[in-house]
Structure 1
Amino acid sequence: MSGSKNKTVAATFETREAADLAVEHLVQKIGIERTDVFVQAAGRQNSSGVEASGGDAPSANEDGREDATLSGEIEVSADVADDKITTLHRTFGDLGALRVTAK
């Protein structure tokens, strides 16, 4: 994290796809170091749900397979210098964040 004054800006997204896109924008377009960007479930529960999917589910060729849906929101946060806070708020908003906060 560069700069003497830093804050954490966090945004909550409805889908994992939107969260991934936000990470991509922060790193590639704004120039935030990937090590300063964090992704986690927005709540206490696992955002991938409790239904089997991926490696723990039956083969795609087996009858009845349906991938599990997300059961919670995804939070993307970044530790940034004060001069990038406005840019992050705007970027998160443009990408459809449900909420944006700064600490």
Structure 2
Amino acid sequence: MSDDSTKTMWATFATREAADRAVEHLVQQCGIARTDVFVEPDTDANTAGTAPSGGDATRADAPLHGEIRVSADIARFDLIKAERAFRHAGARNVKAQ
């Protein structure tokens, strides 16, 4: 839960590979604990993204039902760094509240 010193920032990704890369960037570049970064479908359906990647590229039945959302509470002074990390990983949309 965010407070006055943090904002919840999230971004959506087309592939699980890009979402995983975003998690690594947030952990390594912003110092966010991996346990404080959340990865979930951006829709109600289970999904591996909108395009196959990694191991999903070899499957004919990969669940491609929507984008993947990565979110974390970010300290206000790290918001620009976190947005850059999301975008560098291939984020389609980045938002904070």
Q: What TM-score results when the alignment is normalised by the length of structure 2?
A: 0.78
Residue 40 of structure 2 is aligned to residue 40 of structure 1: yes
- Structure 2 equivalent of residue 17 of structure 1: 17
* Structure-2 separation of matches of 1:29 and 1:81: 13
Deviating above 3 A after TM superposition, structure 1's stretches of 4 or more consecutive aligned residues are none
* Structure-1 separation of matches of 2:83 and 2:9: 8
**Counterpart secondary structure, 2:80:** helix
How much does 1:84 deviate?
A: 0.7
Deviations 1:29-88 (A, max 9, x none): 221111221000011111149xxxxxxxxxxxxxxx734252211000111110011111
Name which one, 1 or 2, has greater alpha-carbon Rg. Answer: 1
| Superposed CA RMSD | 2.2
* Structure-1 separation of matches of 2:85 and 2:48: 25
* Structure-1 separation of matches of 2:41 and 2:62: 16
**Counterpart secondary structure, 1:92:** helix
Aligned residues: percent identity?
54
- Structure 1 equivalent of residue 87 of structure 2: 93
Change (3 A) 1:33 1:73: same
Structure 2, unmatched stretches of 5+, are 50-58
Structure 1, unmatched stretches of 5+, are 50-64
Deviations 1:1-28 (A, max 9, x none): 8x86111100000000000011011112
The answer on whether the counterparts of 1:36 and 1:80 sit within 8 Å (CA) in structure 2 is no
- Greater per-residue helix proportion: 2
